């Protein structure tokens, strides 16, 4: 037997547990996400003790799928797996260029996605260490990012802000602005894709996610993207009667 296939098979069994891939939909997602290389990466992570089991998908997006992983009994983690083929390489290259942390110039697509995943890991780490509410990153390996699972003890993931409006919009708005400011001055980052689609409402705490595109403040695009983030947040909170202009928000951040 081809040793690669059996290795992948072993990985699949180990990571997906016994009741693996029953539905057609599951199988479609699996074949799309778990190419040979990804399986091997997951296998290594399992062998190194980072991951015991992959449960269902929390989200199947354009570029990445997020799964609920189990480390030890009752200890969940979020497993974000980037697909190589459907990645937006132009966007990745555009954001990576101009970021002094990444000197590598590559046209190798796989390598570019790996750098992108590493960038998300480092952005989360910087933010987490600056005390901003983001999932604590655990490890980035190839196209797989392991991070803290944001959700309840039974393993239900926190809803997105867009799907679960805040009980106290004023408080949520202030908390997000505070995070944006801390991100800018303490972590020296701009999120770059902030909106109610990239904030989890975890028991009324605003947790910012999805930081692969986040930029260092001295990146030439950072101001423009910060202002877009502010505009998105202002627009979302407008429907709760919070009407701050972009100019007012800019003053709050830059002062
Ligand atoms: N740490 C986490 N804990 C719980 N749920 C998470 C976590 N990270 C992500 N999710 C869930 O997975 C979804 C997708 O995550 P994320 O926003 O990071 O990926 P994405 O790059 O937006 O994917 P795409 O844009 O391709 O849809 C989120 O909307 C959220 O529901
Ligand atoms: Mg997202």
Domain with residue 239: its CATH number is 1.10.510.10
What is the number of the ligand 1 atom nearest to the C-alpha of 209?
A: 18
What is the number of the ligand 1 atom nearest to the C-alpha of 63?
A: 26
pTM of the predicted model as reported, rounded to 2 decimal places: 0.91
Asked if the structure places residue 154 within a domain, the reply is: no
The answer to whether residues 139 and 178 belong to one domain is no
The answer to whether residues 78 and 144 belong to one domain is yes
Asked if the structure places residue 54 within a domain, the reply is: yes
The answer to whether residues 13 and 112 belong to one domain is yes
| Residue 249, pLDDT score | 95
The answer to whether residues 121 and 16 belong to one domain is yes
Tell me the CA–centroid distance for residue 176 and ligand 2, in Å. Answer: 16
What is the number of the ligand 1 atom nearest to the C-alpha of 149?
A: 3
| Residue 94, pLDDT score | 86
pLDDT of residue 11 exceeding 80, the answer is no
The answer to whether the beta carbons of residues 145 and 117 sit under 8 Å apart is yes
As a whole number, the mean pLDDT across the chain is: 88
Q: pLDDT tens digits, residue range 197-247?
A: 999 999 999 999 999 999 999 999 999 999 999 999 999 999 999 999 999
The residue to mutate among 54, 60, 61, 207, having the most atoms of ligand 1 within 8 angstroms of its beta carbon, is: 61
| Residue 18, pLDDT score | 46
Tokens, residue 118? 């590493």
Residue 253 CA to residue 255 CA, distance in Å, equals: 6
Name the domain count of the chain: 2
| Residue 208: closest CA among 164, 140, 161, 171 | 161
> 21 versus 169: which is more confidently predicted?
169
Q: Please give all residues whose CB falls under 5 A of ion ligand 2, grouped by chain where several chains appear.
A: 198, 210
Find all residues with CB under 8 Å of 97, minimum gap 6, and list them: 105
CATH number, residue 75: 3.30.200.20
| Residue 233: closest CA among 201, 191, 205, 194 | 194
Domain span including residue 193: 169-254
Q: Which ligand is nearest to the CA of 58?
A: 1
Tell me the CA–centroid distance for residue 198 and ligand 2, in Å. Answer: 5
Q: Rounded to whole angstroms, what are the CA distances from 99 to 103, 105, 143, 189, 216?
A: 8, 11, 20, 11, 7
Grouping H, G, I as helix, E, B as strand and the rest as coil, residue 108 is coil
The answer to whether residues 139 and 17 belong to one domain is yes
What are the pocket residues of ligand 1 if the criterion is a CB atom closer than 6 Å to any ligand atom?
A: 58-59, 61-64, 66, 78, 80, 135, 147-151, 157-158, 160, 198, 209-210
The answer to whether residues 138 and 189 belong to one domain is no
The answer to whether residues 104 and 189 belong to one domain is no
Spell out a b/e string for 49-77, using b for 16 or more CB atoms within 10 Å of the CB, else e.
Answer: ebbbbbeebbeeeebbbbbbbbbeeeebb
- Look at ligand 1, atom 19, and give the residue with the nearest C-alpha: 210
Q: Report the DSSP beta bridge partners of residue 79.
A: 67, 146
Residue 226 CA to residue 236 CA, distance in Å, equals: 16
Asked if the structure places residue 164 within a domain, the reply is: no
Asked if the structure places residue 156 within a domain, the reply is: no
Q: Which ligand is nearest to the CA of 211?
A: 1
Q: How far is CA 141 from the centre of its chain?
A: 14
The answer to whether residues 141 and 177 belong to one domain is no
| Residue 64, pLDDT score | 93
The answer to whether residues 108 and 62 belong to one domain is yes
Given 117, 148, 179, the domain boundary residue is: 148
> Helices H, strands E: what count in the chain?
8, 9
Tell me the CA–centroid distance for residue 134 and ligand 2, in Å. Answer: 13
Residue 136 CA to residue 208 CA, distance in Å, equals: 11
| Residue 16, pLDDT score | 66
Find all residues with CB under 8 Å of 86, minimum gap 6, and list them: 62, 63
Asked if the structure places residue 153 within a domain, the reply is: no
Grouping H, G, I as helix, E, B as strand and the rest as coil, residue 57 is strand
Q: What is the set of active-site residues?
A: 193, 210
Specify the range with the lowest mean pLDDT, choosing from 41-55, 95-109, 224-238. Answer: 95-109
| Residue 60, pLDDT score | 87
The answer to whether residues 182 and 57 belong to one domain is no
Specify the range with the lowest mean pLDDT, choosing from 111-115, 147-151, 191-195. Answer: 111-115
Tell me the CA–centroid distance for residue 6 and ligand 1, in Å. Answer: 31
The answer to whether residues 221 and 100 belong to one domain is no
Asked if the structure places residue 49 within a domain, the reply is: yes
Tell me the CA–centroid distance for residue 121 and ligand 2, in Å. Answer: 15
Q: What is the mean pLDDT of residues 98-127?
A: 90
If you count them, how many residues does the chain have?
255
Specify the range with the lowest mean pLDDT, choosing from 52-61, 149-158, 183-192, 220-229. Answer: 52-61
The answer to whether residues 38 and 74 belong to one domain is yes
């Amino acid at each position: 037997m081809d040793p690669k296939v059996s290795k992948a098979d072993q990985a699949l069994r180990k990571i997906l547990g016994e009741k693996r891939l029953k539905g057609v939909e599951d199988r479609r997602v699996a074949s799309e996400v778990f190419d040979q290389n990804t399986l091997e990466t997951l296998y290594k992570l399992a062998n190194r003790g980072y991951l015991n089991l992959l449960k269902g998908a929390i989200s199947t997006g354009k570029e990445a799928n997020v799964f609920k992983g189990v480390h030890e009994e009752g200890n969940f983690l979020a497993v974000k797996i980037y697909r190589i083929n459907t990645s937006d390489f132009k966007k990745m290259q555009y954001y990576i260029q101009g970021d002094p942390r990444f000197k590598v110039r590559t046209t190798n697509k796989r390598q570019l996605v790996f750098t992108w995943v590493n960038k998300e890991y480092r952005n989360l780490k910087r933010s987490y260490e600056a005390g901003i509410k983001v999932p604590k990153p655990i490890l980035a390996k190839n196209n797989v990012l392991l991070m803290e699972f944001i959700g309840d003890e039974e393993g239900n993931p926190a809803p997105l802000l867009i799907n679960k409006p805040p009980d106290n919009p004023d408080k949520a708005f202030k908390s997000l602005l505070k995070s944006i400011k801390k991100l800018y001055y303490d972590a020296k980052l701009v999120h770059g894709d902030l909106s109610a689609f990239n904030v989890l409402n975890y028991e009324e705490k605003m947790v910012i996610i999805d930081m692969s595109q986040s930029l260092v403040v001295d990146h030439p695009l950072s101001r423009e993207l910060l202002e877009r983030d502010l505009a998105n947040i202002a627009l979302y909170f407008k429907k709760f009667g919070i009407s701050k202009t972009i100019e007012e928000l800019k003053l709050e951040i830059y002062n």
